[in-house]
């Protein structure tokens, strides 16, 4: 995006190392490939990027490439809370995040981590969801409606409020974390691999929650969802929920743009070491062979009766150009199924 466009988050020349009092080199000197196992050097190596205001931006790249570190600058965990060496400018929702405490950023920035256990500490479902609003000094009369709305958003409104979170499944725990963050009514929602520790069922439930929030469908109160979402994921099928994408390589942005632009650039995906199925790489070439893909059951099936499948016989690049990527992602009942091509069918 250009500097003239509004940005919810804007980073300029951001360099960060987890080593205290380290001498940070100039960004121009941080060239070449970064070693993800070398913890002494900078993790973020001269980051210049923006998250467009009102967008759903996904950040992808190799493991150990600085994605989670990058997100932690959005709510001032870096440099306010995590010790290390930092240089650069981070503007979040018009606030200088490098001069702001995490507690202050929490009024407008909500964050969900991949380790849901680390974000649960309430003695009951009700206490867990109420924790955020209470600590933001929300009037007591407003907290109960927020609890009801947040639990409804994540599909946990049938849980008993006094139930202990420790007795919930992994997927329910992560949805409860979402509810607790949603109850603070954040303007910016930051998601750090929210499905990485979940099974397929839990993953689908979380994807439904993310889609509800990104679409502004959190009805039932005076908050309809965050204005902007930033998410890190390793799953390209989940990344299709977004409308803007950033690929990190060697601790800095390598490619950014719309989801269509980025995810049909197979050279950029390979350079950023984004894992994509072989059939995706093959079929994003519009001149390549057409393949039939099993995706999106037309009917869910009944007992031992198999589902009725929709089929596609076109390259992924054409598929992405044909209709919104989010539509493709949310239409599918199983990302694993979407990632499984069938054999081309003769005569079709």
For the record, the structure tokens of 75 come out as 């709510």
Q: What is the DSSP letter of 306?
A: P
> Where is pLDDT greater, at 207 or 91?
91
Residues 214 and 185 in one domain: yes
| pLDDT of res. 310 | 45
- The domain boundary, picked from 196, 226, 256, lies at 256
- Listing DSSP states for 6-35 in one string gives -EEEEEEEEEEESSTT--PPPGGG--S---
Residues 119 and 211 in one domain: yes
**What band does 236 get if pLDDT is binned at 50, 70 and 90?**
confident
Do the domain assignments include residue 326? yes
| pLDDT of res. 211 | 86
| pLDDT of res. 27 | 72
Q: Provide the 3-class DSSP secondary structure of residue 308.
A: strand
Do the domain assignments include residue 1? no
| pLDDT of res. 235 | 86
Instruction: Say yes or no to pLDDT of 88 above 80.
Output: yes
**What band does 220 get if pLDDT is binned at 50, 70 and 90?**
low
Residues 150 and 298 in one domain: no
> Where is pLDDT greater, at 346 or 285?
285
Instruction: Say yes or no to pLDDT of 232 above 90.
Output: yes
pLDDT tens digits, 124-142: 999 999 999 999 999 999 9
Q: What is the largest CA-CA distance in the chain?
A: 67
**What band does 264 get if pLDDT is binned at 50, 70 and 90?**
confident
| pLDDT of res. 79 | 94
Residues 203 and 304 in one domain: no
Do the domain assignments include residue 261? no
Residues 60 and 209 in one domain: yes
Residues 247 and 293 in one domain: no
Please, which residues have CB within 8 angstroms of residue 65's CB and are 6 or more apart in sequence?
34, 36, 248, 249, 250, 251, 272, 273
Residues 133 and 65 in one domain: yes
> Containing domain of residue 202, as a range?
7-256
Please, which residues have CB within 8 angstroms of residue 110's CB and are 6 or more apart in sequence?
132, 181, 182, 184, 186, 188, 189, 190, 226
Instruction: Say yes or no to pLDDT of 112 above 80.
Output: yes
Residues 153 and 209 in one domain: yes
Comparing CA positions, the residue from 263, 268, 271, 252 lying closest to residue 49 is 252
Q: What is the spatial distance between Cα 78 and Cα 69, in angstroms, rounded to a whole number?
A: 8
Residues 27 and 173 in one domain: yes
- The domain boundary, picked from 222, 256, 290, lies at 256
Residues 152 and 17 in one domain: yes
Residues 251 and 281 in one domain: no
| pLDDT of res. 1 | 54
Do the domain assignments include residue 73? yes
Answer whether 192's CB lies under 8 Å from 210's CB. no
Q: What is the DSSP letter of 305?
A: B
128, containing H or E segment: helix 125-135
Residues 295 and 236 in one domain: no
| pLDDT of res. 188 | 97
Q: What average pLDDT score do residues 83-112 get?
A: 95
Q: What is the spatial distance between Cα 126 and Cα 186, in angstroms, rounded to a whole number?
A: 19
């Amino acid at each position: 995006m250009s500097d003239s466009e509004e940005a919810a988050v804007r980073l300029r020349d951001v360099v960060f190392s987890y080593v205290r009092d380290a001498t940070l080199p100039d960004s121009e000197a941080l060239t070449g490939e970064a070693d993800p196992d070398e913890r002494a050097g900078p993790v973020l190596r001269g980051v210049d990027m923006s998250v467009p205001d009102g967008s759903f931006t996904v950040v992808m790249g190799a493991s150990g490439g600085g994605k989670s570190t990058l997100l932690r600058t959005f709510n001032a965990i870096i440099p306010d809370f995590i010790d290390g060496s930092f240089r650069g400018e981070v503007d979040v929702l018009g606030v200088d995040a490098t001069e702001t405490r995490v507690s202050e950023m929490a009024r407008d920035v909500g964050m969900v981590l991949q380790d849901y256990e680390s974000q649960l500490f309430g003695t009951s479902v009700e206490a867990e969801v109420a924790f955020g609003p209470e600590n933001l000094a929300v009037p007591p009369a407003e907290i109960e409606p927020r609890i009801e709305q947040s639990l409804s958003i994540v599909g946990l409104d049938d849980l008993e409020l006094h139930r202990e979170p420790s007795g919930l499944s992994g997927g329910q725990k992560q949805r409860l974390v979402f509810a607790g963050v949603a109850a603070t009514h954040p303007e910016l929602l930051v998601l750090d691999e929210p499905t990485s520790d979940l099974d397929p069922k839990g993953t689908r439930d979380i994807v439904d929650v993310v889609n509800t929030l990104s679409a502004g469908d959190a009805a039932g109160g005076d908050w309809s969802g965050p204005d902007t979402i930033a998410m890190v994921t390793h799953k390209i099928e989940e990344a299709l929920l977004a409308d803007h994408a950033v690929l990190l390589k060697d601790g800095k942005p390598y490619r950014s743009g719309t989801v269509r632009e980025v995810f049909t650039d197979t050279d950029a995906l390979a350079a950023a070491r984004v894992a994509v199925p072989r059939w995706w790489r093959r079929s994003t070439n519009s001149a390549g062979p057409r393949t039939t893909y099993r995706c999106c059951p037309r009917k869910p099936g009944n007992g031992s009766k198999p589902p009725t499948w929709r089929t596609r016989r076109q390259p992924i690049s054409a598929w992405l150009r044909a209709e919104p990527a989010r539509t493709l992602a949310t239409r599918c009942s199983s990302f694993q199924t979407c990632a499984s091509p069938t054999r081309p069918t003769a005569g079709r």
